[in-house]
Structure 1
Amino acid sequence: MKALTYQGKEHVEVKDAADPGIQHEKDAIIRITASGICGSDLHLYKNGIPAAPDYIIGHEPMGIVEEVGNEVKTLKKGDRVVIPFNIGCGECFYCKHQMESQCDESNPNPHTDAGGLFGFSEFNGNFPGGQAEYLRVPYADFSSFKVPADSDLEDEQVLLLSDVMPTAFWSVEHSGVKKGDTVLILGSGPIGLMAQKFAWMKGAKRVISVDQVPHRLEHAKRTNGAETFNFSEHDEIGKDLYHETNGGADVVIDCVGMDGTPLSQENTSEKPNQFGTISPILTASEAVRKFGTVQLTGAYISQADGFPLGDFFTRNVSIKMGQAPVIHLMPMLYEMVRQKEIDPTDIITHKLSLADAPKAYDIFDKKEDGNIKAILKP
């Protein structure tokens, strides 16, 4: 099969790879019909998450079931499925309590307690990703969402159930956004833009988008009705936002993570034990109100110097964070899409073939050509 493979920092190639096969009786093999490129994929692309050459990337796939193991009970050949980026066994304490991103059984790596993820290197189980023609899905009954056979929704309408929609929804829910809140969302990539929609749906009074990419900010304003701040135009963005929100936002949701581009004008430098910067956290610490909440959704993948622990403690700020558990949210979000309560497709700006994936990564990384979300179709 053809698959997008990691070949070194900022270097990916579409190459021939071995077709996946059934390894355990709970596995399924799917033929990929669409796969998204996620901002988290850039951590591998930038070599922030170590990956071996020829490792297959991608954790936002969907497709058609081609083969199932003998213990798969709910799927059959020909079923259309969306595959969540979480891999969950469905039987452990965490999977049974809607915390499937921390499944006890899905990650064979003995050096971490984290759950298994598709396309996220050895640290998260070394499972090949979904930017390919075929994918092996472990624990397929639990780690997949079967699109109803009578559904008339296009791939693009359900693909984002794999990550973007449930991650954004969980971020807003986990942060505790309530009616009348001022919600500040750092980053207007796909997760940030979707979180803006859900913040409004929870009854937020103000939704403020912070980014430095003009076309993303314009999208946030035009499509989501968010107020916008271009942080590159502010010397002290956190303090400016604090004053703009009259003493700080009730909730700050960080959809950036450990980014290579500081969300401030501070003179930050990379440390030997730190990939990128924690500037979004520093901005959040300045912009949140006393007794407010900061939700960290963007990926943080190493230890961090300069964490503003004292600021958070002395101002009674609650910190919430983590890898979103998305599997249990997919049926509910599917119904929201089916009933036209929300349209996830407005963030999709590029549809390319798998052969053009290296070009798609370059555009996405450089934020060129109006790119917000790219979809690969083998």
Structure 2
Amino acid sequence: MRAVTYQGFMDVKVKDMPDPQIKNKDDLIVKVTHSSICGSDRHFYHGMVPSMKKDYIVGHEAVGNVHEIGSEVHHLKKGDKVVLPYNIACGKCINCKNNLESQCIRSNQGGEIGGCYGCSRLFGDYNGTQAEFVRVPYANYGTFKVPEHNEVKDEELLLLTDAYSSAYWGIQQAGVKSGDTVIVLGCGPLGLITQKLAWFKGAKRVIAVDHVAYRLEHANKWNHVEVFNFKENKELKSHLKEITKGGADVVIDCVGMSGKMKTLEIMETALRFQGGALGAIEFASQVVLAGGTIQLMGIYGTRYNQFPLGDLFARNITLKMGLASVTHLIPYLYELLQTKQLDLMDVITHHFPLEESEHAYRIFNAHKEKCLKVILEP
């Protein structure tokens, strides 16, 4: 089969790779019809995932059709359309039963976090979804069968796998409620969908911060949020505190470790002394209301120097974070799309054949062609 493979720093190649095989009785093989590039894929693309090896198949978002079925898969048949949540989870361990699929004990035995497609041995060493076929472990739990009377486009179904479901998990975790003022840091697909969901949850005011002009324009046009470019306003933090009368009730960081790094952070990250940028957390700590909540949804690395713990402690800030657990959310979120309560199609800007993935990664990474969400089609 053809698949997108990691080759090194800012280097991916589409190569011939072995077809996946059924390994366990509850496995599936899915023929991928649509996959996509996620913002968190930029972490390995930038060399921030030290455990990535050459020729590793990448990607963790996919929609496809059942191609081959293990003998203990009960609810699916060949040809069924399925959504694959990025969490690889068994559905039976104590964490899965507590809706913590991202911390599944069985899917990454020996690891400290649950399994995930295409995210190196740190997440269980599962091949990724940017390929013609993918093996799906724990298929009885780790698939969402798309109903026969489906009216949701495949591209929008693809957002259920991570961006949409992770955004909802973060909004829910942050406790966004009617009347809140919410600041969203980042206007990539995750940030844009988070803004939509903040309105959906009843926020009275939603503010978006980024530094890429076309992403801010998109947020303003499609999500009707107030937008601010942090590169153009050196006093933005104090300005936001002023216009929100002390800060936002909730600040949601959709940037993570791929944010703009200071020179020292670049050096420390290269030497593995730090796990990427800390700027979004610092920014959030200064624009949140006393007694408010910061929710980290962007992915972070390991240790961080100069973490603003004192600022958070002194102002009674609640800090929430973690890898989104999405599998249990997908049926409900699908219904919101099916019943037209939400429309996410504006986030999708580019379609490429799988063979053009190398080019797709370049424009996505460099913010070219007003790129937001890239769909790959084998």
Give the TM-score normalised by structure 2. 0.97
> Which residue number in structure 2 is paired with residue 255 of structure 1?
254
The CA deviation at 1:260 is 4.6
Give the conservation status (yes or no) of the 8 Å contact 2:259–2:280. no
**Could you tell me how far apart the structure 2 residues matched to 1:296 and 1:160 are?**
19
> Which residue number in structure 2 is paired with residue 270 of structure 1?
267
SS at match of 1:81: strand
> Which residue number in structure 2 is paired with residue 340 of structure 1?
340
The CA deviation at 1:276 is 2.3
Change beyond 3 A, Cα 1:268–1:102: closer
**Alignment partner of 1:33 is 2:33:** yes
Change beyond 3 A, Cα 1:321–1:180: same
**What amino acid is aligned across from residue 343 of structure 2 in structure 1?**
D
The CA deviation at 1:274 is 1.3
User: How do 1:67-216 and structure 2 match up within 5 A?
Assistant: 67-108=68-109, 110=110, 112-216=111-215
Unaligned stretches of 5+ in structure 1?
A: none
The CA deviation at 1:266 is 9.2
**What amino acid is aligned across from residue 42 of structure 1 in structure 2?**
R
**Could you tell me how far apart the structure 1 residues matched to 2:33 and 2:295 are?**
33
Give the conservation status (yes or no) of the 8 Å contact 2:58–2:128. yes
The CA deviation at 1:101 is 1.0
**Alignment partner of 1:232 is 2:195:** no
SS at match of 2:285: helix
**What amino acid is aligned across from residue 277 of structure 2 in structure 1?**
T
**What amino acid is aligned across from residue 159 of structure 1 in structure 2?**
L
Deviations 1:330-369 (A, max 9, x none): 0001110000000111100000000010101000100110
> Which residue number in structure 2 is paired with residue 287 of structure 1?
287
Unaligned stretches of 5+ in structure 2?
A: none
**Could you tell me how far apart the structure 1 residues matched to 2:25 and 2:294 are?**
42
The CA deviation at 1:154 is 2.1
Deviations 1:166-215 (A, max 9, x none): 10111111001111111000000001000001100111111000001111
The CA deviation at 1:234 is 1.7
SS at match of 1:185: strand
Q: Identify which range, 227-236 or 53-62, moves more after superposition.
A: 227-236
Give the conservation status (yes or no) of the 8 Å contact 1:210–1:217. yes
Give the conservation status (yes or no) of the 8 Å contact 1:6–1:56. yes
The CA deviation at 1:277 is 1.1
Change beyond 3 A, Cα 1:266–1:17: closer
Change beyond 3 A, Cα 1:266–1:249: farther
Give the conservation status (yes or no) of the 8 Å contact 1:27–1:138. yes
**What amino acid is aligned across from residue 93 of structure 1 in structure 2?**
I
**Could you tell me how far apart the structure 2 residues matched to 1:308 and 1:238 are?**
15
The CA deviation at 1:240 is 2.8
> Which stretches of structure 1, 4 residues or longer, exceed 6 Å deviation after superposition?
none
**What amino acid is aligned across from residue 37 of structure 2 in structure 1?**
I
Q: Identify which range, 184-193 or 298-307, moves more after superposition.
A: 298-307
**What amino acid is aligned across from residue 366 of structure 1 in structure 2?**
A
**What amino acid is aligned across from residue 84 of structure 2 in structure 1?**
I
The CA deviation at 1:270 is 3.5
Q: Identify which range, 236-245 or 72-81, moves more after superposition.
A: 236-245
Give the conservation status (yes or no) of the 8 Å contact 1:259–1:278. no
> Which residue number in structure 2 is paired with residue 312 of structure 1?
312
The CA deviation at 1:238 is 2.6
The CA deviation at 1:267 is 7.3
Give the TM-score normalised by structure 1. 0.97
Give the conservation status (yes or no) of the 8 Å contact 1:261–1:276. no
**Could you tell me how far apart the structure 2 residues matched to 1:357 and 1:23 are?**
28
Change beyond 3 A, Cα 1:306–1:236: farther
**Alignment partner of 1:44 is 2:28:** no
**Could you tell me how far apart the structure 2 residues matched to 1:169 and 1:376 are?**
24
Give the conservation status (yes or no) of the 8 Å contact 2:42–2:258. no
**What amino acid is aligned across from residue 94 of structure 2 in structure 1?**
F
**Could you tell me how far apart the structure 2 residues matched to 1:338 and 1:56 are?**
32
**Could you tell me how far apart the structure 1 residues matched to 2:263 and 2:276 are?**
13
Over aligned residues, Cα RMSD in angstroms? Answer: 1.3
Deviations 1:17-70 (A, max 9, x none): 000000011100000000011000000111101200000010011100001111
> Which residue number in structure 1 is paired with residue 14 of structure 2?
14
Give the conservation status (yes or no) of the 8 Å contact 1:253–1:296. yes
**Could you tell me how far apart the structure 2 residues matched to 1:270 and 1:256 are?**
20
**What amino acid is aligned across from residue 180 of structure 1 in structure 2?**
G
> Which residue number in structure 2 is paired with residue 2 of structure 1?
2
The CA deviation at 1:113 is 1.6
**Could you tell me how far apart the structure 2 residues matched to 1:26 and 1:121 are?**
22
SS at match of 2:38: coil
Deviations 1:140-169 (A, max 9, x none): 111111001221332112111100111011
SS at match of 1:204: coil
**What amino acid is aligned across from residue 238 of structure 1 in structure 2?**
K
**What amino acid is aligned across from residue 291 of structure 1 in structure 2?**
G
SS at match of 1:159: helix
**What amino acid is aligned across from residue 23 of structure 2 in structure 1?**
Q
